[in-house]
Amino acid sequence: MESLVKKIKGIRNEMIGLSIVLMLAGIFMILFPNTSGNIICRGVGAVLCIWGVVRLVAYFRNNEILGSFGLVQGVALAGFGLYILIRPGIIEVFLTTVFAIIIIVDGILKLQYALDFRKLDAGGWWIEAVCAAVMIILGIVVLFNPFATVAAVMLFIGVVFVFEGAWDLASILYISKIAKEFNK
């Protein structure tokens, strides 16, 4: 019983973090639909460059030998990050696919929560299942990208991310309620 409570608390913490990230990303995309893709790509490029440099420093500082791939990882990460910084437009094309996958995976995660709620005989589990289905459908829409411009798809993804984050927060309240009832 204690392990179930720990699992529920773990789910709650994961959902809080994911919902905050999704809502902030969504708000950013809504406010800057024309440039958000480029900015996100440049941010990812910068993070990869920093990560690569950190791996390289660790490799040389720790005198890693045999079995360590620190040199390869550092050069690959820094190189890929630099490439993204120089040519963000090429990567931006794949960005909508990545976001679609994030939305679909989060929808599937919500479906798992709904099924878990059903196993616990929690009322209202079907609301989570309906939301999961909506998220999966919205993710598929983004995946097939029927939008005329990059700005339109970024705006749509932003709205979806804000909705998804808000729903995650609502789910957190529900999970907390279930945990309290289960504890009794």
DSSP 28-82: HHHH-TTTHHHHHHHHHHHHHHHHHHHHHHHHHHTT--SS--HHHHHHHHHHHHH
pLDDT digits (tens, 9 = 90+) for 34-86: 999 899 899 989 999 999 999 999 888 887 666 678 889 999 999 999 999 99
Provide mean pLDDT across the span 88-100: 85
Whether this prediction's pTM lies above 0.85 is answered by no
Q: What is the pLDDT of residue 92?
A: 79
The whole-angstrom separation of Cα 17 and Cα 32 is 23
Q: What is the pLDDT of residue 79?
A: 96
Q: How confident is the model at residue 89 (pLDDT cuts 50, 70, 90)?
A: confident
Q: What is the pLDDT of residue 85?
A: 94
Q: What is the pLDDT of residue 67?
A: 60
User: Which residue, among 108, 106, 116, has the nearest Cα to 17 in the 3D structure?
Assistant: 106
The whole-angstrom separation of Cα 84 and Cα 42 is 7
Q: What is the pLDDT of residue 184?
A: 66
Q: What is the pLDDT of residue 19?
A: 86
Number of residues assigned to the chain: 184
Q: What is the pLDDT of residue 66?
A: 62
Q: What is the pLDDT of residue 112?
A: 92
pLDDT digits (tens, 9 = 90+) for 134-182: 999 999 999 988 888 888 989 999 999 999 899 888 888 877 777 777 6
pLDDT at 7 over 80: no
Q: How confident is the model at residue 1 (pLDDT cuts 50, 70, 90)?
A: low
